[in-house]
Amino acid sequence: MTTHPNIGTGLFVCAIFAAFFAAQQLDMTDYSAEHAQAAEIEQRLSEAEQQRRRDTAAQYACGPQSAYEWEGPTTIRCYTTRGKKSGAVEVAAQ
């Protein structure tokens, strides 16, 4: 027998604890589908925000009581309250 039998047992217990805590840190779950879904939702929200900003800019350019129609990516056609064309307006693309 050795004179220090508890050193081996202590090292064994430390190794078990180290393995347990290392396993807790190494999460083997695959979250790639959830990350892709979150990115898709974020993109849709960003597109909705861009559309809202475009509509706000168009309404501001034409006036609060006027209707408008997008003719191109940066051009809108404003209409009077009676539905007559009042002119085309260039709106910034960004």
pLDDT band at 93 (very low <50, low <70, confident <90, very high): low
- Per the structure block, which two tokens stand in for 40? 């898709």
pLDDT of residue 9: 84
Considering the entire predicted model, what is its pTM?
Answer: 0.51
Side by side, the strands of the sheet bearing 67-70 are 67-70, 75-79, 85-90
Cβ-based neighbours of 54, under 8 Å, separated by 6 or more:
70, 91
Provide the residue ranges of all domains of the chain, joining segments of one domain with +.
Answer: 64-94
pLDDT of residue 36: 86
Q: In the 3-class helix/strand/coil scheme, how is 21-68 assigned residue by residue?
A: HHHHHCCCCCCHHHHHHHHHHHHHHHHHHHHHHHHHHHHHHHCCCCEE
Model pLDDT for residues 55-76, shown as the tens digit of each residue? 888 888 888 888 888 888 888 8
